[in-house]
Amino acid sequence: MATLTHYIVLSSILFGLGAIGFCTRRNALILFMSIELMLNAANLLLVAFSNFMADMAGQVMVLFIFAVAAAEVAVGLAILIVLFRHVQEVDITKFNVLKW
């Protein structure tokens, strides 16, 4: 039977993958997807704890994270499109106007 530890390890692996992707990739769209991966790892952890502690509040929290993720993607992608109009590029190393 899969225990809580299994889920914690799986969630940590997924979160780690997301973090590695966020730190190493340069394509802004893949950075977005890495953030989504990290959010999903957090969701999995919430649902796992909700199950093993027999408390449904964890599942409700996941729904709020869904809403926050949707808001984040909507605004983030809009910003990305505006940036693309100016720079014609999705490589984040090219976004260096504010760099000192």
Partner 1 sequence: MDLYFWVFAAIAVLAGLFTIAAKDALPSAMGLLTVFIALASLYLHLHAPLLAIFQVAIYAGAILILIVFVVMLLMAPGERLTAIQANVSYRGFGALLGLCLIGLVAVGTKGVSDIVSMKGVPEGFGNPSIFGDLFFRDFLLHFEVVSVLLLVALIGGIYLCKKKL
H helices within 25-56, ranges in order? 28-52
- CA–CA gap between residue 72 and residue 87 (Å, rounded): 22
Cβ contact 84:18 at 8 Å: no
Residues near partner 1 (CB under 8 A) are: 1-2, 6-7, 10, 13-14, 17-18, 20-21, 24-25, 27, 29-30, 32-34, 36-37, 40, 43-44, 47-48, 50-51, 54, 56-57, 59-60, 62-64, 66-75, 77-82, 84, 90
Complex with partner 1: residue 47 or 95, whichever CB lies closer: 47
Rg (CA), the chain: 17
Minimal distance in Å, beta carbon 99 to partner 1?
21
Minimal distance in Å, beta carbon 93 to partner 1?
15
- CA–CA gap between residue 33 and residue 29 (Å, rounded): 6
